[in-house]
Amino acid sequence: MTEIHFYNTRTRTKERFVPLDPEKVRMYVCGPTVYDRAHIGNARPVVVFDTLFRLLRHVYGEAHVAYVRNITDVEDKINARAAESGRTIEAITEETTRWYHEDMGALGVLQPTQEPRATAYIPEMVAMIETLVARGHAYAAEGHVLFAVASYPDYGRFANRSLDEMQAGARVEVAPYKRDPMDFVLWKPSPEDVPGWPSPWGRGRPGWHIECSAMSEALLGASFDIHGGGIDLVFPHHENEIAQSRCAHPEAEFARYWVHNGFLNVEGEKMSKSLGNFFTVRELLDGTASLYGGKQSGPEIRMALLLSHYRDPMDYGVARMHEARATVEDFADQLGAFGVQSLSDLEPHEPLESVISALSDDISAHVAIAFLRRKNLRRVFSQGELRDMLPRIYASQRMLGFDLKDHPRATMRAHQADGSAAVIYDHFEGLNVATKIAKRIDAARAERDFERADQLRAVLIAAGIEVRSGPEGTVVAPTPNFDPAKLDGIDA
- This prediction's pTM: 0.84
pLDDT of residue 172: 57
The structural architecture, per CATH, of the domain 7-261 is 3-Layer(aba) Sandwich (3.40)
Within 10 A of 37 (CB to CB), how many other CB atoms are there?
A: 15
pLDDT of residue 479: 82
How far apart are alpha carbons 68 and 228 in whole angstroms? 10
pLDDT of residue 419: 74
How far apart are alpha carbons 34 and 77 in whole angstroms? 9
Q: How far is CA 339 from CA 221, 392, 412, 421, in A?
A: 50, 17, 9, 11
How far apart are alpha carbons 54 and 397 in whole angstroms? 12
E runs forming strands in 106-210: 138-141, 144-147, 184-189, 204-206
How far apart are alpha carbons 274 and 201 in whole angstroms? 41
* Strand 5-8 with 13-16, pairing: antiparallel
How far apart are alpha carbons 280 and 38 in whole angstroms? 6
How far apart are alpha carbons 46 and 315 in whole angstroms? 17
Q: How far is CA 265 from CA 305, 312, 322, in A?
A: 11, 11, 16
Write the burial class of residue 472 (CB in 10 Å: 0-12 exposed, 13-18 middle, 19+ buried): exposed
Helices of type H across 224-336:
239-248, 281-286, 298-306, 318-335
What single-letter DSSP state applies at residue 117? Answer: B
The DSSP-derived string for 182-200 is T-EEEEEE--TTS--B--T
pLDDT of residue 421: 46
Strands ordered across the beta sheet of 138-141:
138-141, 144-147, 184-189, 204-206
* Strand 473-478 with 465-470, pairing: antiparallel
Q: How far is CA 161 from CA 156, 233, 234, 314, in A?
A: 5, 14, 11, 24
- The one-letter amino acid code at 317 reads G
State the number of CA atoms in the 13 A half-sphere of 158 facing the CB. 25
Let me know how many helices (H) and strands (E) the chain has, helices first. Answer: 18, 15
Burial letters 370-404, b for 16+ CB under 10 A, else e: ebbeeeebeeeeeeeebeebbbbbbbbbbbbbbeb
How big is the CA angle at 119 (ends 114 and 125), to the nearest 5 degrees? 90
Q: Give pLDDT tens digits along the chain (492 positions).
A: 899 999 999 999 999 999 999 999 999 999 999 999 999 999 999 999 999 999 999 999 999 999 999 999 999 999 999 999 999 999 999 999 999 999 999 999 999 999 999 999 999 999 999 999 999 999 999 999 999 999 999 999 999 987 677 666 555 567 889 999 999 999 999 999 899 999 999 999 999 999 999 999 999 999 999 999 999 999 999 999 999 999 999 999 999 999 999 999 998 888 877 777 889 999 999 999 877 678 999 999 999 999 999 999 999 999 999 999 999 999 999 999 999 999 999 998 999 999 999 999 999 999 999 999 999 999 999 999 999 999 999 999 999 999 999 999 999 999 888 875 445 556 667 778 888 888 888 888 888 888 888 888 898 898 888 888 877 789 888 887 788 778 776 765
What single-letter DSSP state applies at residue 350? Answer: P
Backbone angles phi, psi at 19, to 5 degrees: -70, 155
pLDDT of residue 435: 84
